[in-house]
Chain A
Amino acid sequence: MTSVSHEQPSPRESPGRRLSKYFYRHPRLSLALLLAVPVGWLAVAYLGSLVVLLLASVWTTDPFTSQVVHTYTLDNFRRILDGHVYRDVAWRTIKMAGLVTLADAMLAFPIAYYMARVASPRARNVLVVAVLMPLWASYLVKAYAWRTILSGAGVVNWALDPVGVSFDGYSSTGLWLVFTYLWLPFMILPIYAGLERIPSSLLEASADLGGKSLRTFFRVTLPLAFPAVVAGSIFTFSLTLGDYIAPKLITSQQFIGTLIYDNHGTNLPVAAAFTLVPIVVMVVYLLVARRLHAFEAL
């Protein structure tokens, strides 16, 4: 026994050290362990439930009890493709999602531009808080509040009354207003981030080359910020496409979300088959968005 070993213990003897060396030598294993939980969560909770849902679309239901019977059929898809109801509802919803996205983009761009390019740092902070504030309130409260606003006895009609106009708030126009309000922050934030990322040097270069402000905006700012607009539109479009609470509260019309909601208890397979429509629409939308470089702006 010597005292030397006590003064300088070999690092190899610590098990923690040995483990860390082992992982160092096996980088793939350490990566797999690190990602196991998040990837597992994604696979089980997201993809797993989606696959189970889509599996349900090929079963049938008992005509009396509405219970799912595990008999294979493609009738559910046939019903959705043949029946005009499902086509009308899908088209109505896609149109609504498109119009909401358009309105949000037009409202959000000036606000985001002001926040990113014009406002003082102090004003910018206030605006960021103001944009985020509505997201702290419950979605349901906001939807019910809009129901009151749009009512025949609500503030909109009260304001229009002196002019002699009455507005049917519980219509697709009313719903369009509600959606545009609800999803606006989801459009402002990506555009704001996108505009902030544009280097001032580019704008200065444009000015140096004789570009007036309008020309600079259309030739430099807008093309550079466009991917951010598309990124924001992914949120506004998909949120409108799937929502069922606002349509239930505001209109008497059916949308994709409400139709699935109404069918999930009485005919689960048809409801499951119908979910393919928004899935396909969103996949196409995302492919186009990727083409437009929206993912780099997220």
Chain B
Amino acid sequence: MTHQTRRALGWSALALLVGTLSLVAAGRGGDGAGGGEASGDKASTEIEGLGSSLEEIKSKAKEEGQVDVVIWPGYADKSWASTFTKQTGCKVVTKDGTTSDDMIDLVSTGQYDGVSASGNASVRLMKRGDVSPVNTDLIPNYADVSHGLKNQDYNSMDGQAYGVPHGRGPNLLMWRTDVVNPAPTSWSAIWNATPTVRKKISIYDDSIFIADAAIYLKATKPDLKIDNPYQLNDEQFQAAVDLLKGLKPNVGEWWADYAKQIQSYANKDIVIGTTWPYQENILKGDKKPVEAVKPKEGTTGWSDTWMIYSKAAHPNCMYLWMNYIISPQANAKVAEWFGEAPSNPKACSFTTDKSFCDAMHANDESYWKNIYYWTTPTADCGGKGGTCKTQQDWVNAWTEIRG
């Protein structure tokens, strides 16, 4: 190659690069403007292509033929998703999220029609404008949903619903009964680990777990005056982070992938830790010697909401899915499968185990008193006033703890 050709090539490459970059920058600029806050009197529930009546939605859904959803593992198992496909003609394509941050990330790619968001994701999704307000008149089963779950700050904004409540449940303390004796009743089993469980503790790998430390501190260190484990001031936050730093050497595994955790419990690499009822169900189904409880200090938990992406490609199928998943039959199936309390009380008569709703304390509000649903930490302490650590502080601290 001569010197001149090389120079010519160099210039054309540079020109191409600059051209592309300016295109990309222009595209990004457009995106930024769209992510504004939804404000005004009543947010519009309109989504491009969405039918204006249930009949229209049903006929349009047949043309769409598909719905892509980001879910917590197990929320759209074939055993009820296939019934939905038969009824509506919408194939259900799922993508598991591992943490709320992960789910937000997935939704913002724009490839999905909806998401089963927990409180710490739903609030941010609404603020980001990633999800659209929902016209509950087009979702007949919404009327049956428990009153206490409707119009909460994690599933509505300015009195406008942004989705349908799916169900709720606690994060549990799970252990192998053949190793851990006697059965623990307190989170101190992990925070004050005995030599038997050291290096064999499984901890959820997300900054939201700092709240679990705060719940333990709330019970054991009343001086800190922790009220809400998600809204912590400097001193409370530092205490929780220090507690976690002390826990770190005893952690055998940080999990976000539920399959990884199941394998570790099955192989006895992990003998105690924090988990979802879903893993408990699967391990017990495999006849593994595990047991799980809600410890006496209380626990973190979730109240999930099905939300629709603001630029959903298949809005009609998504509306039908939101209606279907809170129908008594489907809500019963998913609640029993994952191990959570259904959002629709009518579901309780459709569970295979007739005592399921009682076991889940679905209608026993006193049980839920010390279950703190996942929510996003904010600078204004969730609107209570004062100065609290933000979501970003939590994430940064988590990086420190994990590093």
Residues of A within 8 A of B (CB): 28, 31-32, 35-36, 39-40, 42-44, 47-48, 51-52, 61, 63-67, 70, 83-86, 88-89, 147-148, 151-154, 168, 170, 248-249, 252, 254, 259, 262-267
Q: Flag if B16 contacts A65 (CB, 8 Å).
A: no
Docked complex Cα distance between A31 and B32 (Å): 40
Main SS class of interface, A: helix
- Beyond contacts A65-B391, A170-B252: 5 other A-B pairs, Cβ-Cβ < 8 A, are A31-B9, A44-B16, A65-B124, A66-B104, A265-B104
Chain B residues near A42 (CB-CB < 8 A): 13
Chain A residues near B396 (CB-CB < 8 A): 267
Contact of B24 among A52, A86, A262 (CB under 8 A): A52
Interface residues of B in 358-389 (CB under 8 A from A): 376, 378-379
Residues of B within 8 A of A (CB): 4-5, 8-9, 12-13, 16-17, 20-21, 24, 32, 35, 101-102, 104-105, 124, 127-128, 199, 205, 207, 251-254, 257, 260, 263-264, 267-269, 376, 378-379, 390-393, 395-396, 399-400, 402-403
Docked complex Cα distance between A86 and B403 (Å): 8
Q: Flag if B263 contacts A64 (CB, 8 Å).
A: no
Main SS class of interface, B: helix
Given known A48-B24, A152-B268, A252-B252, contact A264–B403 (CB-CB < 8 A): no
Docked complex Cα distance between A66 and B156 (Å): 20
Contact of A88 among B13, B260, B267, B403 (CB under 8 A): B403
Q: Flag if A63 contacts B391 (CB, 8 Å).
A: yes
Q: Flag if A262 contacts B16 (CB, 8 Å).
A: no
Q: Which 4 residue pairs of A and B lie closest in terms of their CB atoms, listed nearest first?
A: A85-B403, A265-B105, A63-B390, A63-B392
Chain A CB within 10 A, most for which of B20, B127, B379:
B20
Q: Flag if A48 contacts B21 (CB, 8 Å).
A: yes
Docked complex Cα distance between A28 and B399 (Å): 53
Docked complex Cα distance between A3 and B20 (Å): 56
Q: List 13 A-B contacts (CB under 8 A).
A: A39-B13, A47-B17, A63-B391, A65-B391, A66-B124, A85-B400, A151-B269, A152-B269, A170-B253, A249-B260, A254-B403, A262-B205, A265-B102
Given known A44-B16, A152-B267, contact A66–B402 (CB-CB < 8 A): no
Q: Flag if A63 contacts B12 (CB, 8 Å).
A: no
Docked complex Cα distance between A52 and B24 (Å): 8
Docked complex Cα distance between A66 and B390 (Å): 10
For A67, the closest partner residue in chain B by CB is: B128
Given known A52-B24, A254-B403, contact A64–B13 (CB-CB < 8 A): no
CB proximity of B17 to chain A, nearest CB, Å: 5
CB proximity of B34 to chain A, nearest CB, Å: 12
Docked complex Cα distance between A151 and B263 (Å): 9
For A151, the closest partner residue in chain B by CB is: B267
Given known A51-B21, A265-B104, contact A31–B392 (CB-CB < 8 A): no
